[in-house]
Amino acid sequence: MTGPRQRRARCALAAALAAAALAGACTREADDRARFEAGDGAPPAIEDAALLELDAPALASELAAGRVSAERVTRAALARIAAIDDAGPTLNAIIEINPDAIEIARELDRRLAAQGPAGTLHGVPVVLKANIDTGDRLATSAGSLALAHHRAAVDAELVARLRESGAVILAKANLSEWANFRSTRSTSGWSSLGGQTRNPYVLDLNPCGSSSGSAVAVAAGLAPLAVGTETDGSIVCPASANGIVGIKPTLGLVSAHGIIPIAASQDTAGPMARTVEGAALLLAAMQTPRESTPSEYATTRADLAGIRLGVIRDYGGAGEFADVEAAFERWLDMLRAAGAELVDPVELALPDGLGAAELEVLLYEFKAGLDAYLAAAHVEPGSLEALIAFNDANAREVMPHFDQDIFLMAQARGGLDDPAYAQALAASRTAMRSRLEAVFAEHALDALVAPANEPAWKTDWANGDPAGLSSSRAAAVSGYPSIAVPGGLAGELPIAIAFVGLPFGEAELIEIAAVFERTRGPLPAPKFLPAL
């Protein structure tokens, strides 16, 4: 099935579901009014359009209490996808709808009536990035035509945990093809299967990658929660560009089993939500249980008294974006006002050659990891070498804008027993961890803080993404946790602050981020402007 045919089929399904949702609205309203007038103590139910405006924790509370049904919420989400993603602004955030979503929701409604809620996400719709395995009728495609028909035999571990928590797996999200690891000239948010995802704030601007569809789905209200994946910046960058919260967890907190890999030493899935509390709710549901991590994350800290934050001034692109620099100073003042003690500046002094060493590690690990994944999945193309050949044979559809030079570089690498790989790993991950350990210890820090990214740029298929502002590398290479929280708008565009914490220090990092979020106040919603 080609990309356009798949989209037309999805549009037809979504339109039918939207019509069904509209037809049932009057009946639901009458039923709710009758229950209220009968004196059973239940208020009239929330209107369908307002359901998806609720933050995930509030929606989860409504569902668990039985004030709204999982089927109704699912139909509302599917109707909004039809109206906003397929029609209207046509965001291209969703690559495929789960044909079993409504039946899953109905089963959860039956479960609630008989036994109570299944878990903390009972009935809450969740969108997954299309490189995450689901053992159902959804494809795990990485956005590539080569894997358009690949359906995993079993759920990724994180997906199994989400199902146990009661989540409705609503859809797969578009992404930068192969998680932005096919070409050095790639355009974030574009895939040969799903086309170009668009930024909901300004449609001709880029959503950043590679978890672009996941971020846009949340920002545009298509779903309250989404799962992205990150190797270096692919959660925190789209979160920043689309005005939502994204958490890149400590490496290993969330299982990477069942995710199409780039690099085992950096890959992780993470939650994306409109608020810190929503992201924390999703993280708790998807993480692998550990003795040292909570099953729920609190966001109730009143202030930042006693918290020491190290202010990073030597992040990538520092000094190049005046609006971000000015906003960062305002954010630092807000943190001080909330009681934090700032150590300013803290110089990371990233090791010389870190970027080149990181790329070498990714190339070696991508070849080994992808070959292993494809072989275990019994799918064709069954190796990186075969995938390169497929792309060459289908170049018009697969490579209309950029090539596969990264694939070729990875294929030319040896195995993980190559001494060059061990040297690159020592010069990147080992060196970065040593540097961060020293910085945290020297200044007795609870977290580091920096701007996350510059405002979104214009999508440019001819030249690809620009090299702009980014502070993601330190946490990505070391495996430390980070969280991007919207700080406000620069003109019409979201910009965000990033916090980096200690390994498995997500609980404290979430508390810090939640205090900042409350201090910041409301964030303007997307306007779906066609251009600036």
CB burial of residue 491 (10 Å; 0-12, 13-18, 19+): exposed
Q: Return phi, psi of residue 226, to 5°.
A: -150, 155
Residue 22: per-residue pLDDT: 37
CATH architecture of 3-286: Alpha-Beta Complex (3.90)
Phi and psi at residue 243, to the nearest 5°: 70, 35
Q: Closest by alpha carbon to 128, among 165, 174, 81?
A: 174
Active site residues: 129, 210, 234
Q: Would you write out the chain's pLDDT as a tens digit for each of its 532 residues?
A: 334 435 534 544 444 444 443 344 333 333 433 332 333 334 445 688 789 999 999 999 999 999 999 999 999 999 999 999 999 999 999 999 999 999 999 999 999 999 999 999 999 999 999 999 999 999 999 999 999 999 999 999 999 999 999 999 999 999 999 999 999 999 999 999 999 999 999 999 999 999 999 999 999 999 999 999 999 999 999 999 999 999 999 999 999 999 999 999 999 999 999 999 999 999 999 999 988 889 999 999 999 999 999 999 999 999 999 999 999 999 999 999 999 999 999 999 988 899 999 999 999 999 999 999 999 999 999 999 999 999 999 999 999 999 999 999 999 999 999 999 999 999 999 999 999 999 999 999 999 999 999 999 999 999 999 989 999 999 999 999 999 999 999 999 999 999 999 999 999 999 999 999 999 999 999 999 999 9
State residue 5's pLDDT score.
Answer: 35
The number of CA neighbours under 13 Å toward the Cβ of 485 is 29
CB atoms within 10 A of CB 340: 22
Q: Where are the domains of the chain?
A: 3-286, 308-351+431-502, 354-423
Quick one: pLDDT at residue 48? 85
Angle (nearest 5°) at CA 303 between 301 and 305: 115
Nearest CA to 303 out of 521, 511, 443 is that of 511
* Strands across the sheet containing 94-97: 94-97, 168-173, 125-129, 225-230, 268-273, 245-248, 482-490, 493-500, 447-451, 308-312, 341-346
pTM greater than 0.75 (yes/no): yes
The DSSP secondary structure of 154-190, one letter per residue, reads: S--HHHHHHHHTT-EEEEEE--SHHHH-S-TT--TTE
Strand partners, 490: 493
| DSSP secondary structure, 42-75, as one string | PPPPPPHHHHTTS-HHHHHHHHHTTSS-HHHHHH
